[in-house]
Amino acid sequence: MRVNLGADTPETDVRRALTTGDMGFLHSFTTGSRVDGPGVRVVGWTTGCHWRCLYCHNPDTWNMSNGIPVTLARATEQLRKYRHGLKIMSGGFTLSGGEPLMQDRFAVKLFTAAKAMGIHTALDTNGSLGNRLTDAELEQIDLVLLDIKMWDPERHRQLTGMDNAPVLDFARRLAERRRPIWIRFVLVPGLSDDVENIANIARFSASLGNVKRVDVLPFHQLGRFKWKELKLNYTLNDVQPPSIEAVESACAHFRSQGLKAF
């Protein structure tokens, strides 16, 4: 687990980085991902997230100081190495996290640099900070992987600690701008798997008109050890992953609204 990798970075440098976007804080870079957007992808994992989802499997990305400071130039150079391969494999670059828009200036600059190299770009986001991006900046993002975690506002607050109104507003704005979305929905037995929740999210997703696909992500316990090591209070110890049938049933709700769901 990676923690405190950026702890030595002076506070003024952190602030300057966030303002200019000339430096970002990354937990890691992975190559060869097939699950973070179309084709084969390079994924940059940012640190910093202001949500506290009960099922988060990356709580080590919550604090920005757990990331390695990386200059925009260096990150761009890394992407340049892969640009031909990514094109051949119909892939691209995805920025995930953490919440990438905690570092919105860095994200925009990196996406712009990737686009200039002809690389397909995707943002994996909880959607709450979408209003940090201008309409012109949205054009630098070919695909938004948008988490919709819970429909009911109060239950959403219990699950994430935050309001879901900005998420839904961002989804509507992306629809108005005709920017493609893949919805991501985490299926957690006893928490998010009731029919009412799924049906509401499915109806909303279908109403947008720009949702190209829905990924139903089965809850898992792979991040549990991180909560323990970070001495955080993990409340889902007894929750089992959903059955294949439950995942298929959730997919069926989305499909019944005319969406592609996997």
Minimum Å distance from CB 209 to ligand SF4? 25
For residues 50 and 203, which CB has a smaller minimum distance to ligand SF4 in the complex?
50
Minimum Å distance from CB 78 to ligand SF4? 22
Chain residues binding ligand SF4 by CB under 6 A are 49, 51-53, 56, 58, 61, 97-99, 126, 160
Minimum Å distance from CB 26 to ligand SF4? 14
For residues 5 and 206, which CB has a smaller minimum distance to ligand SF4 in the complex?
5
- Cα(163)–Cα(24) distance, rounded to whole angstroms? 26
For residues 49 and 247, which CB has a smaller minimum distance to ligand SF4 in the complex?
49
For residues 18 and 86, which CB has a smaller minimum distance to ligand SF4 in the complex?
18
Minimum Å distance from CB 51 to ligand SF4? 4
For residues 99 and 142, which CB has a smaller minimum distance to ligand SF4 in the complex?
99
Minimum Å distance from CB 185 to ligand SF4? 12
For residues 53 and 70, which CB has a smaller minimum distance to ligand SF4 in the complex?
53
3-state secondary structure the chain: CCCCCCCCCCHHHHHHHHHHCCEEEEEEEEEEECCCCCCCEEEEEECCCCCCCCCCCCHHHCCHHHCEEEEHHHHHHHHHHHHHHHHHCCCEEEEECCCHHHHHHHHHHHHHHHHHCCCEEEEEECCCCHHHCCHHHHCCCCEEEEECCCCCHHHHHHHHCCCCHHHHHHHHHHHHCCCCEEEEEEECCCCCCCHHHHHHHHHHHHHHCCEEEEEEEECCCCCHHHHHHCCCCCCCCCCCCCCHHHHHHHHHHHHHCCCCEC
Bond from prior residue into 85 cis (ω within 30 degrees of 0): no
Minimum Å distance from CB 63 to ligand SF4? 11
